[in-house]
Structure 1
Amino acid sequence: MVDLFKNVSPQSSNRLLNKLKENLIIQREVYSPFNPAEAVCQIEIKPNISFIREQINTKARFIALLLVLQTLIMAGAVVIIVMYLITRPIKTISDRLHHLSADAKTTLPLPPGNEADEIGQLVRDVNTLFSKLSHLLEDERDLRVQHQIGEKKFRAIFENSETGIFLLNPNGEVLSSNPAYRRLFAISDEVSSESIKFSLIQNLNDYALRLQGMLENATHDEQVSSEDFLLEVGNPPQKNGSIWC
């Protein structure tokens, strides 16, 4: 009987192997078919350790190769499944999104076979967002058109009104004015914008404090403020005028 131990030195391992080779001999007695008690000969079987080891190494390499091949096949199958079931539908959705315009009424079709999974839910969510975006763009376009119409109406009123209309900054300087304002203060159309800018301050120099108070009240309270002033402009030289802020 051979005893095997762990953590033995290389020399001990070689001695153990040699001892193992010597003891691995199978002996069997061969008995006479006519007299079962009579031993005719003895058969000895001695295993070829080198051959056995070579066969073990060959089989081990073959099994390792099969495992590697199986791993590669499984990895390739996983890649194909991912590309076919996930990557390809997402790529199709992306290509269709690139060809849709912002005001398009069409929606993304569901990829075949993905109606009940996450990709189908993604397509439905994209269609919902796209529909909301289209409605928002339409509303914004309508508001822009209404704003342009309102600007044109305001500009027509501003230019054609017989009442002097002007825009002041918090310092009381005129930023813009209509033709009636120029007529009110007898300002020629050829006068520079800087002269128009300071015309109200020059004509209301005696009422500068009242005008500044009106501007501050209108700015602070965000309400309309009005005052009556005596203006000495145009012909006749004296007129009563009202200013609204």
Structure 2
Amino acid sequence: MGRLFELFRTRLALRAAAIILVMVALLGIGFLQLAIHVRADSEQQTQAKRLEQLLSTVERTTQIACFLGDRQLAGEVADGLLSNRIVSEVRIVRQNGDVLADSRSAVASREGAPVSRIVHSPFEPDKTMCHIALIPDQERIDAVVAEASRFLAVALLIQLAGVGICVVMVVVYFVTRPITGISHRLSELEAETGHKLQAPRGNRHDEIGQLVASVNAMIDHLVTSLSEERRLRMEREVEERRYRTIFDNVEAGIFELDGEGRVMVANPAFRRLFQLSEEFDPRQRRVALAELAGKGGPTAEELSRYREPGRTREWEIALDGGAIKRWVSVLLSRLEEGRLQGVAHDITERKLATDAAEQLAMTDPLTGLGNRLGLERRLAVITRHHRLYPERAHALVLLDFDHFKHVNDTWGHQAGDRVLRHVADLLSGLVSQRDYLARLGGDEFVMVLDGYGQREPVAALLVRFLEELGDPIVLNETTRIRMGASIGVAMLGPDTVDAQEAMRFADQAMYRAKRAGRNTWRFHQTASELHS
């Protein structure tokens, strides 16, 4: 049974034949039942007509027997009718109820529905003389019907079996056999070489021929696809080698991060930028970018905000490791869900050049101190700082050197430049690193003293400065000069919280020092203090 089931499952011809036979059998049973039913009805009608014909045959004799009331003649009519095998009983009854004949068959049988007829007078057609009734032998009629139905059933079964066998043979020979041949040839076909199937003889223009044409078209498409895939694979291998060469030798660090910000892939340049060993393999030991970048790098929270497509962010990170401070620019963008790609560049030279250019823009080239731009930026920083820490005061000291124009006019600008550099050195030696010195132009200097909230420390510093400034300045082997300065001081905090206003106050105080006889200093005073 298992073998038969396996054959039924794997053999299209067997399965098709079985299905066809089952369908033929079902249709045959249906048609057979219908044919038997129709045949039975037809035979019943035939027997009923036969009984009517029997009555018609004996009707004349029955009229005479009824007219004469002749029981013997009526009995002979009844016996004659009973001689027919399908008649079970004959009954002739006169109009007045007198029974002229009532004969039964010698063999008991199941009776059917009686067939009766009114018998009229032979001389007066409108006058009823008697009734004659034939009761058929239903068993005999059923036997005749059954015999006719059996013959019809056998004929139909033979016909259906023949049709089924012929259909199966047609399916096997014209359908499954060509398909099986195509299947065998297809299994042996080397499609990648471009070989094609040949349609079976006689099937070139039917559905099987169309199937072969479709398979050949698929083979053409497959060969084209294989050729294209082979070409693309070779191009991809070339591109991969090219990418690997670039990846391994490019100066920029290329890397990928997982969803938690850990390095998944990194090229040698990335390892060099972040001072990782050559043996470092991110697939074996995951390191977070935040750990490599330090405080200036992206945090896990920041990385989570840049996981949407199209969003990029750049960080400039200062790396403190090593003998020289370095800066690295890191650009991150989303690669796919849960992955970020990044590029890192060493921007140390650019950063140093930018810082140097910025420092140069804010530095006086003659003295090396800050210039007006540098002072403005420093005052802006101090103003913001003072808003955060109002208790911390600063002193703004404005210096203007007495008779400096006379030095330039008498000994030339080189002598004047030497005096300015000498003054810058004196000031630099007096202040701390937190303080700020600037030359605004000509002989005008500014000191920003951090944390000076009282006048006494400022005055002590200015005393020292004027003492040192009073020492002779050597211009050449034969020339020495002495300089003086008029100084104005304003306190950022006690006097005002606005840095620009403090500068204006210091300027006013400086002119008061000039009017006081020069080479001295004055603190800012309010109008009430001036008049007191």
TM-score, normalising length: structure 2: 0.32
How far off its partner does 1:182 sit? 1.9
Q: 1:120 aligns with which of 209, 213, 226?
A: 209
Aligned residue among 230, 233, 251 for 1:162: 251
Paired position in structure 2 for 1:40: none
Q: CA–CA distance in 2 between the matches of 1:122 and 1:165?
A: 53
* Counterpart amino acid of residue 232 in structure 1: D
Amino acid of the residue matched to residue 137 of structure 1? L
1:219 maps to which residue? 307
Q: Size of the alignment, in residue pairs? A: 199
Report the equivalent of 2:81: 2
Distance of aligned partners of 1:218 and 1:65 in 2 relative to their CA distance in 1, 3 Å threshold: closer
* Post-superposition offset of 1:193: 4.4
The 10-residue stretch of structure 1 (217-226 or 167-176) with the greater mean CA deviation from structure 2: 217-226
Task: Report if the CA contact (8 A) 1:173-1:197 is conserved.
Answer: yes
Identify if the C-alpha distance between structure 1 residues 173 and 13 changes in structure 2 by more than 3 Å, giving closer, same or farther. Answer: farther
**TM superposition shift of 1:146:** 2.5
Match of 2:176 among 76, 87, 90: 87
* Pairs within 5 Å for 1:167-178: 167-178=256-267
Query: Is 1:234 aligned to 2:322, yes or no?
Result: yes
Q: Deviations over 1:47-71 (max 9, x none)?
A: xxxxxxxxxx9xx99x999987777
Unaligned runs of 5+ in 1: 17-56
User: Structure 1 residues 191, 96: CA separation in 2 closer, same or farther (over 3 Å shift)?
Assistant: closer
Distance 1:193 1:117, change over 3 A: closer
Q: 2:210 matched to 1:131?
A: no
The answer (yes or no) to whether the contact 1:217–1:225 under 8 Å persists in 2 is no
Give the 3-state SS of the residue equivalent to 1:220 in structure 2.
coil
- Per-residue CA distance 1:11-49 (angstroms, 9 max, x = gap): 958479xxxxxxxxxxxxxxxxxxxxxxxxxxxxxxxxx
Inter-CA distance 8–116: structure 2 relative to 1 (3 Å threshold): farther
Looking at structure 2, the residues matched to 79 and 196 of structure 1 have their Cα atoms a distance apart, in angstroms, of 70
Paired residue secondary structure (1:204): helix
Q: CA deviation at 1:184?
A: 1.8
State the alpha-carbon separation in 1 of the partners of residues 319 and 214 from structure 2.
67
For residues 191-206 of structure 1, what are the structure 2 equivalents within 5 Å?
Answer: 191=280, 193=282, 197-198=286-287, 200-206=289-295
User: Percent identity, aligned pairs only?
Assistant: 32
Root-mean-square deviation (CA, aligned residues, Å) is 3.8
Shift of 1:149: 2.3
Q: Any idea what the Cα deviations from partners look like across 1:199-243, whole Å, max 9, x if unmatched?
A: 6422423124x454663454214344322121123342x012111
Distance 1:111 1:232 in 2: 81
| Paired residues for 1:49-60 under 5 Å | none
Distance 1:128 1:13, change over 3 A: farther
The structure where strand makes up a greater share of residues is: 2
Q: Which of 1 and 2 has greater Rg?
A: 2
Q: Find the aligned partners of 2:171 and 2:283 in 1 and give their Cα distance.
A: 72
Q: SS of 1:2's equivalent?
A: helix
How far does residue 92 in structure 1 lie from its aligned partner after superposition? 0.9
Deviation at 1:90, TM superposition (A): 1.0
Paired with 2:318 and 2:231, the residues of 1 have a C-alpha distance of: 45
Q: Is the 8 A contact 2:264 2:283 kept in 1?
A: no
The answer as to whether partners of 2:261 and 2:288 remain within 8 angstroms in 1 is: no
What are the equivalent positions in structure 2 for 1:11-50 lying under 5 Å apart? 12=105, 14=107
The answer on 1:144 being equivalent to 2:223 is: no
Distance in 1 separating the partners of 2:179 and 2:87: 57
Alpha carbons 1:104, 1:134 under 8 Å: kept: yes
Q: What displacement does 1:93 show?
A: 0.8
Q: Which amino acid aligns with 2:327?
A: N
- CA gap 1:73/1:152 in 2 versus in 1, 3 angstroms: same
Inter-partner Cα distance in structure 2 for 1:165 and 1:171: 18
Mapped contact 1:203–1:232 kept (Cα < 8 A) = no
Say whether the 8 Å CA contact 1:230–1:239 is kept in structure 2. Answer: yes
In structure 2, distance between residues paired with 1:7 and 1:153? 110
